[in-house]
Amino acid sequence: MDEDTQQTPEQSVANRVLSMFITAVGEDEALVEVATRLKPVLLDGDTVNEAALYQAIFGDDS
């Protein structure tokens, strides 16, 4: 794995937690959709943008 694709320990933990969450809610399409939207918000970059996080959780309609 090169430097550009290496995850920080925090990203690695977040990725595992999100994967477990997606697996656990696999039967509920709405929750899977939320989990899928959360993944890039939580894993891209060093900080979490509050507006992006809100949009990922509540969708575009809120």
Buried b (16+ CB within 10 A) or exposed e, 38-57: bbebbbeeeeeeeebeeebe
Neighbours of 33 (CB within 10 A): 13
Tell me the two tokens of residue 52.
């992006």
Confidence of residue 5 (pLDDT cuts 50, 70, 90): low
How far is Cα 26 from Cα 21, in angstroms, rounded to an integer? 8
Q: What is the pLDDT of residues 10-58, one digit of tens each?
A: 767 777 777 777 777 777 777 878 878 887 877 776 677 778 878 887 7
Confidence of residue 4 (pLDDT cuts 50, 70, 90): low
Global pTM reads: 0.47
